[in-house]
Structure 1
Amino acid sequence: MWYKLYLLAGIILLTVSLYKFKQSIDFIRRSERTVGTVISLEDIDDAYSPVFAVKTKENDQIIYHHAAASNPAAWDIGEEATFLYDPENPDSATMMSYFWLFNWAILFLAIAIPLVIVGAGYFLLSPLIRLPEAATIVKRRII
């Protein structure tokens, strides 16, 4: 019975992963590319997170607080990184790297694949698993 729940959960997470992947691709298609410069480092629990000033094509400035922090600091003030932002929603700026663009799709897919494999494996092999039990019962009746 559990394998059916694993299969169902895996299919749901796979669907969510594909949806998040589509959202990321759509964001990349409609976004503009720009450069951001580290203007300061935030101290968060003895780890340093960069704060970027991202300039849009309209010469507006977006302040982007990066979600990752490290000790020692991975970024120096003045370093630059490439960003993508939606011109209709400038606050949607995202650092242009594979993980930051596809993080939720990757996470959901990493959980979905083992669930689908285990669930589908048990679902497809359950008739074969029951055959030896039936053969044992027939042998007991004969003996």
Structure 2
Amino acid sequence: MKYEKGKAMKDNVMLGFVLSGITGLLLLVYTVNKVQEQVDFLKSGQSTVAKVFKLETVEGDDGVVQYKPIFVYRTPSGEPFIYTDYFASRPASWQIGDAAHIVYNPLEPQQAKILTVFEVFGSSAPLLVLAVALMVVGGGYVWAERFLTSLL
């Protein structure tokens, strides 16, 4: 009875580590796909300079006023487009008149990204680290269990 209970517990632990490894692998595939999408966007996009023309005030969850830059950029034909940064900060990290490189989709110019690592790749780096950690923990446990069992 005690042996069966211990074996069931060991099987549950093994299942947890296997699921951890599988989750890490799926997260890795997702992250690599997202990075590839961003690289494709950068390759096919049109690059130009955008200028901050307005700082929008946004009230944070804690009631503190933050500043969000609003950029304007133009296509080669001179058509203006507005890009509102996703992030707000206090103090303002951008000033009116500041310039930044921006990449936009030539077929849909309103689809744009400021050229910063975080803006372009977003959460890909932390997700990649998490994916590798899950795969190492899950896969490492399963490999060690099988390897050490084969030695006995």
Per the TM superposition, whether the score is higher than 0.5 is yes
Q: Say if 2:116 is the partner of 1:97.
A: yes
Structure 2: gaps (5+ residues): 1-14, 60-64
3-state SS, counterpart of residue 7 of structure 1: helix
Among 13, 19, 33, the residue aligned to 2:33: 19
CA deviation after TM superposition for structure 1 residue 128, in Å: 4.4
Q: Which residue of 1 aligns with 2:73?
A: 54
CA deviation after TM superposition for structure 1 residue 103, in Å: 1.3
* 8 A Cα contact 1:16 1:108, kept in partner: no
Give the TM-score normalised by structure 2: 0.81
| One-letter amino acid of the structure 2 residue matched with residue 99 of structure 1 | F
Matched residue count? 133
Among 74, 77, 97, the residue aligned to 2:96: 77
Q: Say if 2:51 is the partner of 1:37.
A: yes
Q: Say if 2:128 is the partner of 1:109.
A: yes
* 8 A Cα contact 1:20 1:105, kept in partner: yes
Give the TM-score normalised by structure 1: 0.86
